[in-house]
Structure 1
Amino acid sequence: MLIVSRREGEKLMIGDDVEITVVEVAGGAVKIGIEAPRSVPVYREELWAAVRDENRAAAGAPATLPQVPKRA
């Protein structure tokens, strides 16, 4: 993990096309702005983890299809 110190208005670059800007520092909270191409998904970690866990649960569930009545 890379740990850096930044002040309000300062930025970080990730690759050539993702820019992270420190927008505000107040108390124990830091607001950041993220500029990235639309092709790069950006999620809050807790939402990403919840979706990942749901996907894993769905992938592990038994796949059953409804029984189709036989034609007479």
Structure 2
Amino acid sequence: MLVLSRKKGESIIIQDQIEVSILSVEGDTIKVGITAPAHIDIFRKEVYLSIQESNRESAAPTPSTLEAFMQRLRNQK
């Protein structure tokens, strides 16, 4: 992990396309601004993890779909 120190008003550039700017610092809260191309998704980590979990649940076979699949296999014999 790269660790950088930045002050209010300073930025970090990633791959010529993404700029991360420090907008404000208030106590232990930092406001960060991110400028990136529209095709790049940007999420807070907790939202990203929730999306990933939801995708895993959606992709998992349910007992009824698994049973239907097994029934089709039996009928093919």
Q: Is TM > 0.5 for Structure 1 vs Structure 2?
A: yes
Q: How many residues align?
A: 65
User: What is aligned with 2:15?
Assistant: 15
User: What is aligned with 1:43?
Assistant: 43
Larger helix proportion, structure 1 or 2?
2
Cα RMSD of the aligned pairs, angstroms, is 1.4
With normalisation by structure 1, the TM-score equals: 0.84
Structure 1 gap segments, 5+ residues each: 66-72
**Seq. identity, %:** 34
- 2:56 is the alignment partner of 1:56: yes
> 1:36 Cα shift?
0.2
Amino acid at match of 2:41: P
> 1:56 Cα shift?
0.6
